Amino acid sequence: MRLKIVQAGDPVLRTQARRLTHEEIISDEIQRLIGDMRETMRDAPGVGLAAPQVGASLQIAVIEDREELFSGLPEQELAEKERRPVPFHVIINPEITLLGDDWADFYESCLSLSEFSAVVPRARRIRIGCLDENAESRSIEASGWYARILQHEIDHLHGTLYIDRMDSRTFTSLDNWGRFWKGKQVREIIKDLAGTSGLRR
């Protein structure tokens, strides 16, 4: 069943989500929620969806970056973002560790802030420990765009949105991103905007 995606301003998006027990994870209710979240994410379409985004304040997120979502993007962009297909999986009660001190700045969007985007700095490499949909322990190391997706969704589980981390002067409607910034390197955009107002960096 496709679920309604909550938009910014709903208190559930600013609440620390609750961790789940083993018994809860394997329950019919949570298994049904995971299936509905998967359908909702694919229908949107998106590459990740956290339970708070569908009104459930629980530490669950579904992740999937299908090749069909970026098959039309330039090879150079895919290489810069280190974007590769990621098979569907579920993360529950995740704990995140940043690996190294490499950071990357790219435009990022969110299904709960539809029609907007902004440049967000994220750690390039991370490790997470979590439970999967069978309540089994998992350790995941990720880099590039996959690491960004995981950080974005884990933020949702702690009441954080990308607008809390963005370079605020890069915040734009998707229409204006296509009109003014599409095809430009992020560093060029940041430099251009810094020249108009003193954006950090």
pLDDT tens for residues 3-31? 999 999 999 999 999 999 999 999 999 99
Q: Is residue 1 domain-resident?
A: no
CATH number of the domain enclosing 58: 3.90.45.10
Active site residues: 153
- Residue 185, Cβ neighbours under 10 Å: how many? 12
Q: Is residue 60 domain-resident?
A: yes
Residue 196: per-residue pLDDT: 61
Residue 73: per-residue pLDDT: 87
What's the whole-number average pLDDT of the chain?
95
Contact 93, 30 (CB under 8 A): no
Boundaries of domain holding 49: 11-197
The stretch 35-56 carries a mean pLDDT of: 98
Residue 156: per-residue pLDDT: 98
**Which range is least confidently modeled, 2-11, 175-184, 190-199?**
190-199
- Residue 177, Cβ neighbours under 10 Å: how many? 20
Residue 191: per-residue pLDDT: 87
Q: Is residue 2 domain-resident?
A: no
Choice between 140 and 198, residue whose per-residue pLDDT is larger:
140
Choice between 99 and 198, residue whose per-residue pLDDT is larger:
99
pLDDT reading at 56 higher than 60: yes
Give the number of domains in the chain. 1
pLDDT band at 197 (very low <50, low <70, confident <90, very high): low
Q: Is residue 3 domain-resident?
A: no
From residue 144, alpha-carbon distances to 28, 50, 126, 160, 191 in Å are 34, 20, 9, 20, 22
